[in-house]
Amino acid sequence: MWSGVECDEMTGHVIGLDLGNSFLYGSIDSNSTLFDLLHLQRLNLSNNHFNYSRIPTAIGRLSMLTYLNLASSKFIGQIPSQLSQLSKLSNLYLCNNPLQLKKPDLESLISNFTFLEVLCLSQVDISSTVPKSLANFSSLTHLGLRDCKLKGEFPIIIFQLPNLQLLTVRFNKDLSGRLPPVLNQNNSLKSLLLSGTSFYGEIPFEKLASLRELDAHNCNFSGVIPSLIGKLNQLTSLDLSENNFVGEIPSSLGNLTQLTMLSLFSNHFSGPIPLSFSKLINLETLNLHNNDLRDSVDFDIFVGLKNLSFLDLQENYNLSVIVVNPGINETFPQFKVLGLSNCNLKKIPGFLRHQKRMEALFLSKNHIGGPIPEWLFSISKETLNSLSLYKNSLIGELSHRICNFSSLEFLDISHNKLVGKLPRCLGNFSKSMLRLHLRGNYFSGNIPNFMKGNQLELIDLGYNRFEGNLSKSLSNCKMLGYLNVESNKLNDVFPYWLGTLPELEILVLRAN
């Protein structure tokens, strides 16, 4: 028996061919002996590289196929009409290829697929409305139409399909629609993925009891989240971010102990952060950024959430986060991303010194004051890629230990009261640095030298006390698109040599 080949034990006919992930390269034409396997029922050619060739029209000869998987295999062009002749198909995967479905269109393609259970056309250019005829496929369990340039109103009747388990129409910005007050009668829907569409209205949370994943990010939904949401105890992922929800976050969300991801950012939620969040023991991501949350929250409610690695509470202008370091700091989660900007912090939390895998730390616009503690430069030296301490009234000099962060891509310590000369290593400590914000401090001395091969796209040194000439090492910043050195004490002739920078669009030299 050859690997990937399945034969009928009675007749010896090849009925299955599984060549997925087989490093195949090249094209298949209609003369291939593959299309002589007329008894073939299952064909998997997914995750190969067919060199942007077309799907052969001879595919229509394989009339016994029930399973066809050509996903992620670099096929291109119009899907051939001959494929619609495969009337026994129950599983069809054409997703993640630069294909088109115009002639035939979607409705014509599927018109003969009486037994259709799985239809995956994500990233296929369909550029049409969604046909109502999809609602006739009562066996359909998975419908994948992500990023297909769909438009118009999504047929509400499709939500009534009795066996539908997964529906994704993500990233079709011209596709609108409403959710029905009652979904499919068998309550089978497990994943509903609508992000990046124009779906609107209210979400009937109380009718989604079987749901495990709801992604409504960046839609036009509105209304109040009812306390009944606490009964959706199958949910593992809930994303309602970038919508128009209002009211308080219901404390009943704390009952959803299977949640690993909860994202509510950029809405109009008000009131406090529910203390019941301390019960979300499986939570890995919590994003409440940019709402109108208020009152005080004790950081201790997150201490028991051992899996929490992403926490963002930024830009809630009336929220105060109280951090009292416990006796054993190791009880805090090990964060990858922590956003506490504009949270009325009085000092940099001491538990950060125990963070071993931090990738991004945002503490801007607080009331911290004082010098940057030396221990801060010891956290996550190899992993930290973003650090923001913007607008905190910080004083003192910038320690040379900032150069310990060898993976740093984004550094913003602008609008503080930092003084002295910059560490000489600042121009060459990180080969990955993209954005350097030092604006609005009292830094003095010469601008540091920048090494060849750096990736810097933005440098803002404005409103400081730098003096001398503009460092010619800036010509090494070949990716630089923005350079601002305004309002310093620089003394030089016009830096014509900056004309060699191919990406430079904004150059600010005034007030020197």
Query: Which stretches of the chain drop beneath a pLDDT of 70?
Result: 1, 325-331
| Residue 445 belongs to a domain | yes
- Looking at residue 21, what DSSP letter applies? T
Pick from 165, 245, 162, 166: nearest CA to 203? 245
| Residue 18 belongs to a domain | no
**Coil vs helix vs strand at 29:** coil
| Residue 125 belongs to a domain | no
Pick from 146, 143, 170, 147: nearest CA to 157? 143
Pick from 301, 337, 298: nearest CA to 320? 298
Whole-number percent of the chain with pLDDT over 70: 98
Domain count of the chain? 1
3-state secondary structure 293-362: EEEEEEHHHHCCCCCCCEEECCCCCEEEEECCCCCCHHHCCCCCEEECCCCCCCCCCHHHHHCCCCCEEE
pLDDT on residue 183: 79
| Residue 231 belongs to a domain | no
Q: Express each pLDDT in 426-452 by its tens digit.
A: 988 888 999 999 999 999 999 999 999
What does DSSP say about strands 14-18 and 5-7: parallel, antiparallel, or unpaired?
antiparallel
| Residue 488 belongs to a domain | yes
pLDDT on residue 1: 54
In this structure, the number of other CB atoms found within 10 A of the CB of residue 27 comes to 13
Is residue 311 within 8 Å of residue 334, measured between CB atoms?
no
Instruction: Report the C-alpha gap between 425 and 412 in whole angstroms.
Output: 17
Instruction: Report the C-alpha gap between 228 and 213 in whole angstroms.
Output: 17
pLDDT on residue 24: 92
pLDDT on residue 307: 95
CATH number, domain containing residue 471 = 3.80.10.10
| Residue 153 belongs to a domain | no
Instruction: Report the C-alpha gap between 53 and 211 in whole angstroms.
Output: 39
pLDDT on residue 328: 47
| Residue 235 belongs to a domain | no
pLDDT on residue 326: 55
Residue 206 corresponds to which tokens in the numbers above?
């109380």
Residue 1 corresponds to which tokens in the numbers above?
């028996």
What does DSSP say about strands 285-287 and 310-312: parallel, antiparallel, or unpaired?
parallel
| Residue 457 belongs to a domain | yes
pLDDT on residue 464: 98
Is residue 485 within 8 Å of residue 509, measured between CB atoms?
yes
Range of the domain at 509: 371-376+398-405+420-512
